Structure 1
Amino acid sequence: MPLLPQRPAEFHVFDTSLRDGAQQEGLRLSVADKLKIAGYLDELGVGYIEGGWPGANPSDTEFFRLARDLELGTSTLVAFGATRKAGAKAADDPLTRALVEAGTDVVCIVAKSHDEHVARALRCSLEENLEMITDTVQYLISEGRRVFVDCEHFFDGYRANPEYALKVVATAHEAGAEVVVLCDTNGGMLPSWMGEVVEAAAATGAKLGIHCHNDTGCAVANTMAAVEAGVMHVQGTFNGYGERTGNADLSAVIPNLELKYGWSVLPEGRLPELSRVAHAIAQVANQPLIGRQPYVGASSFAHKAGLHASAIKVDANLYQHIDPELVGNSMRMLISDMAGRANIQIKGSQLGFDLDDRELAARVTAVVKDREAQGYSYESADASFEMLLRDELGLLRLPFEVQSWRVFTEERDGLNTSEATVKLTAKGRRQMVVGEGNGPVNALDAALRAALIPAFPEVADFDLRDYRVRILDEGHGTDATVRTLIDTAYEGNSWTTVGVGTNVVEASWEALSDALAYGIITHLA
C-alpha cells in the first residue's frame, strides 16, 4: 500500500458554490439563497466561501452588502474578481475598486495563464498581462486584502506554452499572492497527468491550489492527484454544482481527505454534518441530490443483493468502505426480487421487528419476491414493506375499513371535473363522503381524508409530497400494468407507499389508502 501524503502545515478548503457553482444550467440562487447556503457551509466549517463577483452584477454586490451581518464562526468570506483592464491602473479600475468595497478580508482574482487567451480574449501583449497581475495583486494588498490568484486555463496553457504559464504563476507569487490556484478550466485533465504539471509549478516557490472541472468525470480524482503532488488549497463546489458537467464535488473531496488521508481539514466533530449540509444546500438550490452521490447520497450505503446482506450480517463493513455515520449517512437495506433472507432480516431489524426465525424470514422473503414479480417495488417504498411485514407477522391493525369507493371524471362546458365517493368505518363510525378534485386521484384523496378526519383530525395535516406513475409492460399500451408511488410527510417525517394494477386509478388508490393508514398507525396510534 502506498504511503499516505503528509498534510501541509497550512491547508485550505475553498468553496465556490455561490459563484462558480451558480453557473450551472437551471440553477438560480437569490441573494437570500446564497446567504442561507453560506450559513450551512460555515456550520460545516469550510475554510473559505467565495460569494460572487461584486460590481459585476447587482445581486452579488447586494450579497456582499448583506453578508457583512453574517456571523460566520469558522469560514472566511471571499470576493471574486479579475485583474484590472489592459491600459488602466488597478486603483482606477471600477471593478477592482468594487472588490475593496465588498469589505472581505480575502479577494480571489482570476488571471489569464494561456497565451492564446491573452492574445485573443484580452487583446494585449503577454508582458502586459503579467503587469496587470502584478498591479492588481499589489493594489489589493495595499488596501489591506489577502489575495489568491486563479490561473485560468492553466493546464491547457501549460501544454501550449509551459514557459509562459509558469511565468504567470511566478508573477502572481512575486507580487504577493498568498495562493496561486492552478485551474483546469476546460476540465480536460486526467489524474496521471497532474503530478508533473503541479511539480513544475511548485518550482516557482508559490503556494499552490487546484480548481478542477468535471468534463472528463475526473474532477475529484484530479483534485486528489494534485493534493498528492503538493497543493495546499482545494477549490470545489458542494454536490459538484457548476457549468457544463460541474466542478470537483467537495462533499467527496472533504471526506476523502479526512477519512482516506487522515487529515483534519474541518473543525473537530464537524464531518458527521456533511450529509445534512449537502442535502440542505440541495434543498435551497432546488437541485435534487443524486442518490448515487458518493458519501452523502441516499444510495451511498444502500444494499440490494442477497450476497451483500449475508456478509453484512457478519460485519457491516464487509461491503462498505467506511462507516456511513462518519459522514452523517446511514446504511439502508433495499427490499426487491434480488433480496435474500438476510436482506429481509436486516431490514426487519432496522424497522424494529424480530425476524430471527428462519422459517418466518423465508416466508416473508417469498411473499416479497412474489409481489415484486407482480410489479411492486419495495426498495423505495419502505412504508409499504413495513405494512406487508406487519401483516405477515399478524401485527397489522388497520385503523379504518373501506366498504367501497368510486370516482368519475366528466367534461362540462369545457372544464374537467372529478368527483369521488368513499364509504368507510373508522373508530366504529361509518362515513360516506364525496370529494372533488383536480383529477381522479386528487378527488379520492379529498374524499378519503374527509372521511377519516372525524376519527383522526391530524390526517388533515398529512402532506402528499409527490406522486409518480410508471408503466411496467410498455408493449401493452393503455392496458399496461402500472406502478404508482406516493410520498407523504407529517411533522418532519416522510414515507413512501406503492400500488400496482392495470387500472391507474386502482393502483393510485392502493398507494393512497396505504399512505394514510401507515401515517395513522405510526404517528397517531
Structure 2
Amino acid sequence: MAARRISTYDTTLRDGEQCEGVTLSLEDKLAIVARLDAFGIDVIEGGYPGSNPKDVTFFQQVAAMDLHHARIAAFGSTCKKGVAADADAGLADLLACGAPVVTIVGKTWDAQVERALQTTLEENLRMIADSVAYLVAAGREVVFDAEHFFDGYAANPAYALACVGAAVEAGAASVDLCETNGGRLPFEVEETVRAVCAAFPDARFGIHCHNDSGCAVANTLAAVRGGATQVQGTVNGIGERVGNADLCTVIADLELKMGLDTVGAHSLTQLTSLSQYVAELCNLSVPTHHPYTGASAFAHKGGLHASAIARFPEAYEHVSPAAVGNSNRMLVSELAGKASLLAKARGLGFDLEAAGADVQAVLDDIKAREAAGFTYEVADGSLGLLLMRHLGLYRPSFTLESFRVIVDDREDTGALAKDALSEATVKIHVGEERFVATGESTGPVGALDAALRMAIAPSYPQVGAMELIDYKVRLLDESQGTDAITRVTITTTNGHDTWGSVGVSENVIEASWNALVDALEYGLHLAARP
C-alpha cells in the first residue's frame, strides 16, 4: 500500500524573509525557487504582489521559469471590510500577478476581528467567503490561511469553525490552520486539528506553525497526526521572531519517522545541500547542531562512540546520514564524502576517478579550506578551479602584479547621500604582456571589477558577456570586530550559466578580489569549453 502523501508548502520567500537580518535579492529568490522546484516542493510562496517593485518583478520573471514540479503561490489578504471582493485592490493584485495558487489570510479569532479589524463577526465571514469565491471563480487554486486559528478556537470554537466553513463552502482547496503566536503545545494542536477535520470530513487542511515555544516542528507533526495533509514551513526554520516550522526537519521526520510521502527518498538525499544553499543565499549559517542537516548532526568524537560507530552505527545515529545527504564527520569532510565529491565533480565536467586524481587529497584540501572559512556550496566556480588545480588542468588566464583602491568622499548632505567614488588601478600580466587599467565605480569592488575587465578585455573579449549579479560579505568571527576574517561570495552570469565564487581574507578588499578573479577565471573556462 502506498504511503499517505503530505503536500509541502514553502514560505521561505515570504515568511522566511521576514526574519530579522534576512534580505533576499530578486536573483536570490529566483535561485531558491529553482532549487526548491528541483527538490520537489509542491507549492512555493513568492511574496506579496504589488507590495514592492521586487516582488512585482519576481512574479513576472518566475512565470517564465521552466518549473518541473512546484506551483507558485501569491500571498495576500481577504478583501477589506465594507469592500466587495471584485472591487478590492489587493485581490486584483493577486490575480494580476498570474500565480496559479493564491493564498489569502483571514481572521478566525473573534477578538482579533473586533479589536484589530474593528468590524463585526458577520462582516468578517462575508470577507472570507466573498474573497475565496471571487478568486476561485477567476480560476485560481485558493489556500485560506486561518490566522490565529488555535487562539480563536480556544476562545470561541463555534466562530472559528464558522470561519473555516465560510472558506470551505466558497471553494478553498485547502484551509491551513495557523498557529500564529507559536505558543501552543503538540497535544493541543493535535486535538484541535482532529476536531476540525471531523467537523469538515470532505475538506483538506494544512498547518502553519511558528516556533515561539520551540514546538513548531512537533506541532506540525501533531497536526498531521490529527489529519492535516499540507505542511507549511521555511527552509531552516527562518522567520519572524524565533522563526517558523523548519520544513527541512518536518520533511525528514515525515518521511523517515512517520512513513509518509513528501518529496521522496531520492530528493531527501539533497536535504543537507538544500539547507546549506538557502542559508548561504540568506547570508546565514546552518546552525552546527541543526537536526539532520547541521555539521554536527552526525559528528562523533573519539572513545566509546567512535569505536561503536564502526561496528554498530545505529547506536548513535538515529537515521543514516546518507538518507538526508549528510555525512559522518568522523570519516569524511563537510562535503559529504567521496561519493558526493565525485558526483559534484562530474556535474562540473570533471571525472576525478578516470583522471586518476587522489580523491582523498582533494577532500583533505577542501576540508582545510573550509576550516579557514571557505565554503563551496554556492561557489561552483571556485570549486571547479580547485578541482582543475588538483588535476593539473589549471592555467591562469592572467597573473596579478598589484592592485590599489582609493575611495574619495566629500562633504555631503547626510547619511543618505551617495557622492562617494571609488577608483581602482590594477596591474596584470597576460602571457608576456603587461596591462595597466583604472576603473571607477561607487564602490571599491565595482571599481576593481571595472579595472580588471578593462585590463583583460583585449585578450579575453568573452568577459564582456559576464555580469556580476550578487555580492555578499560575511564576518566569520564577529568577536574580532573589524579584524575578523571575512568571506565574500560573488554570483556571476554569462546569460546562459550562473556560477558562484568565494574569497576569504582578513581584508575585505582582498577577499573580494580573490572571489572576483575566480568568477572571471571560471567564466573564461566555461567560454572555452566545446
TM-score band, normalised by shorter chain? 0.5 to 0.7
2:121 alignment partner, one of 126, 139, 162: 126
Partner Cα distance (1:18, 1:492) in 2: 21
Note the residue ranges of structure 1 that are not aligned, 5 or more in a row: 336-349, 353-377, 384-463, 472-483, 497-525
Separation (CA, whole Å) in 1 of partners of 2:478 and 2:42: 44
Name the CA distance, whole Å, in 2 between partners of 1:333 and 1:469: 28
Q: Give how far 1:495 is off.
A: 13
TM-score under structure 2 normalisation? 0.63
- Residue 302 of structure 1 aligns to a residue whose secondary structure is coil
Which amino acid letter does the alignment assign opposite residue 90 of structure 1?
Answer: A
Following TM superposition, by how much is the alpha carbon of 1:237 offset from its aligned partner in structure 2, in angstroms?
0.2
Q: Residue in 2 aligned with 1:234?
A: 231
**C-alpha displacement of 1:228:** 0.8
Write out per-residue CA displacement over residues 178-209 of structure 1, whole angstroms, 9 at most, x where no aligned residue.
11111000000111211211112112312111
Q: What one-letter code is carried by the residue in structure 2 that aligns with 1:287?
A: L
Determine whether 1:262 maps to 2:259.
yes
Flag as ranges the 4+ runs of structure 1 deviating above 6 A.
464-467, 484-489, 491-496
Larger-Rg structure = 1
Aligned with residue 311 of structure 1, among 308, 313, 319: 308
Relative to structure 1, is the Cα distance of residues 192 and 179 closer, same or farther in structure 2, using a 3 angstrom cutoff? same
- Residue 43 of structure 1 pairs with residue 29 of structure 2: no
> Which letter maps to 2:34?
G
1:34 aligns with 2:1: no
Residues 10-159 of structure 1 correspond to what in structure 2 (within 5 A)?
11-159=6-154
Contact 1:187 1:212 in 2 (8 A): yes
Look up the SS of the partner of 2:113 in the other structure: helix
Deviations 1:423-453 (A, max 9, x none): xxxxxxxxxxxxxxxxxxxxxxxxxxxxxxx
Gap change, CA 1:487 and 1:246, over 3 Å in 2: closer
Query: Gaps spanning 5+ residues in structure 2: where?
Result: 333-358, 362-367, 374-472, 490-498, 505-530
Between the aligned partners of 1:276 and 1:252, the Cα distance in structure 2 is: 13
The corresponding residue for 1:412 is none
Aligned counterpart in structure 2 of residue 325 of structure 1, from 322, 326, 341? 322
Q: Are the counterparts in 2 of residues 282 and 289 from structure 1 also a CA contact under 8 Å?
A: yes
Tell me the secondary structure at the aligned position of residue 270 of structure 1: helix
Q: Are 1:179 and 2:174 an aligned pair?
A: yes
Match of 2:189 in 1: 194
Counterpart of 2:139 in structure 1: which amino acid? G
Amino acid at match of 1:286: N
Q: Could you tell me whether the CA contact under 8 Å between 2:150 and 2:178 is conserved in 1?
A: yes
Cα deviation 1:12-56 (Å, max 9, x = unaligned): 100000001110011111222111111111111100000001122
The one of 277, 293, 300 equivalent to 1:280 is 277
Following the alignment from structure 1 to structure 2, what is the Cα–Cα distance between the partners of residues 140 and 96?
8
Q: Which shifted more, 149-158 or 201-210?
A: 201-210
**Residue in 2 aligned with 1:347?**
none
1:295-343 deviation line (CA, Å, top 9, x unaligned): 11111111125211011121222210111011111011299xxxxxxxx
Asked whether 1:248 is paired with 2:245, we answer yes
What's the CA shift for 1:58? 2.5
Q: Distance in 2 between matches of 1:175 and 1:488?
A: 50
Percent identity over the alignment? 47
Letter in 2 for 1:129: N
8 Å CA contact retained: 1:302, 1:334: no
User: 2:287 aligns to what?
Assistant: 290
Matched, 1:203 2:198: yes
State the partner residue of 1:400: none
Distance 1:22 1:382, change over 3 A: closer
Match of 1:299 in 2: 296
Distance 1:140 1:304, change over 3 A: same
Provide the aligned C-alpha RMSD in A.
3.4
